[in-house]
Amino acid sequence: MMTIEEQVKLAEGAALRIASASTAAKNSALTRVACNLDENRDEVKRVNAKDVEDAEKADLAPALVKRLKLDSKKIDEMIEGVRSVIGLVDPVGKVLSETELDESLNLYKVRTPIGLIGVIFESRPDALVQISSLCIKSGNAVVLKGGTEAKRSNRILFNLIKDAIEEDAIFKDSIQLVETRKDVRELLKLDSHIDLMIPRGSNALVRYIQENTKIPVLGHSDGICHVYVDKDADLDMAVDIAFDSKCQYAAVCNAMETLLVHADVADEFLSRVGARYDAEGVELRGDERARAVIGCDPASDVDWITEYNDLILSIRIVDSAGSAIDHINRYGSHHTDAIVTSDEKTAERF
C-alpha cells in the first residue's frame, strides 16, 4: 500500500503531463466519465445506500443525511454537471493581457493550470464528481479527501472516474483519493508538492486547514446567505427566487438563510411565498413585523447569524434597501447575497 506522500508525488508528476493536455483529450475524458457514471448508476445507489443506512444509525443530522444521499435525481444532476463542464471554454492558454515592453519584446499574461490541488470536502459525495470534472477541464491534478460518512460512495465514484479518464495515458495518476483523518494531517505537511488546498465544508474545517498548513488555502467562511426583495421587485419573479433559494437544495452553503423584504411589498409578497414555504414544510422564524403578516416563530439575534443548512428560514421586514444592506453587512458572511429589484440604481448600490 502506498504512503500519502507517494500518492501525492504520483499526482504531482501527472500534473506536469495534463497541464498540456488538449481540449479534445480533456473533453473525451469527461465524456467517458459521464458515460461510466450513467452505466453504473444502480451500483452507485446500492453502495450509497449503505453509507446512508450507517449515517441514520449514527443519528447524523437530517441535513447531513440529505447531503449524503445519491438518488436518481442527484445522479442525473451529477452526469449533467460533467456534461456542462465539457461545454465550458477551455481556460488553459487564454491570453489575459499583452504589453509591448520594447520593439519586438512583448510580455504576455497567459492562463495556466495551478498544478496539484488538494480538496477536502464534507458529506456530499457528488462534490467529488464536480471537483474532479473541473480539475480535468482546467488541466490540474487533484488529491481528494471526502467525509468519512461517505467513504463507500466516494470510493466507487472515484474508481469510476479514474477508470474512465485513464483510458488515455496522459491522465494516469492525475486523481488520487485519501480516506482518513490521519491522511489529512499528512497531506497538510506536503507544502513542497501541493500547490493549493481547497477545503469545502464547515467554517471549523476551513479554519483547521488554514491553521495547520503552509500550503496556500482557498476557503470560504459560513454560508449565511440573503435574498432582499425590494419595493420595486417583480413579485412573481421574487416569489420564485425566494422559494428556489431556500428549497431547491437547503443543505448547500449557498442556500438562502435570511429573507429580507421591503415593508411596501411585505403583505402581498409574504402571503404568496409563505403559502409555498408551508407546502414545502419550511420552518419560518420572523421579526415582530414579519410575524404580524404571516404565522411564524419569533427570530432571535442568533437566527440572523445561523447557517441552518435545512428547511428553516429567518425573515425580516426592512424599510429601505439601505436597511437591508446594513443587516447583511452586520450579520452576513458575504458568501452569496441577492437583490430582486427592477430599479437599476438600487441594484448597483446593493
Q: φ, ψ for residue 102 (rounded to 5)?
A: -165, 175
pLDDT in tens, 26-52: 999 999 999 999 999 999 999 999 999
Q: Is residue 341 part of a domain?
A: yes
In this structure, the answer to whether residues 113 and 31 fall within a common structural domain is yes
Task: Report residue 323's pLDDT band, with 50, 70 and 90 as the boundaries.
Answer: very high
> Is the same domain home to 143 and 272?
no
178 and 255 in a single domain? The answer is no
pLDDT of residue 273: 97
Q: Which domain holds residue 66?
A: 4-211
Taking only the tens place, the pLDDT of each residue in 68-107 is 999 999 999 999 999 999 999 999 999 999 999 999 999 9
Cell of 144: 481528494
Q: What is the CATH number of the domain that holds 37?
A: 3.40.605.10
Please say which residue of 155, 181, 211 terminates a domain. Answer: 211
Mark whether 139 and 281 lie in a shared domain.
Answer: no
**Mean of pLDDT values over 183-200:** 95
- Selection from 18, 16, 38, 15 nearest residue 26 by Cα: 18
CA dist list (Å): 252 to 64, 123, 193 = 10, 10, 31
pTM score over 0.85: no
What was the pLDDT predicted at 204?
Answer: 81
Q: Do 17 and 158 fall into the same domain?
A: yes
pLDDT band for position 67 (50/70/90)? confident
Q: 212-233: per-residue pLDDT in tens?
A: 999 999 987 688 999 999 999 9
Indicate the helix (H) or strand (E) that contains 211: helix 203-211
Same domain for 64 and 138? Answer: yes
Helix, strand and coil content of the chain, in percent to the nearest 5, comes to: 50, 20, 30
pLDDT higher than 80, residue 202: no
Residue 272 sits in a domain whose CATH number is 3.40.309.10
User: Does residue 49 lie within any of the structural domains?
Assistant: yes
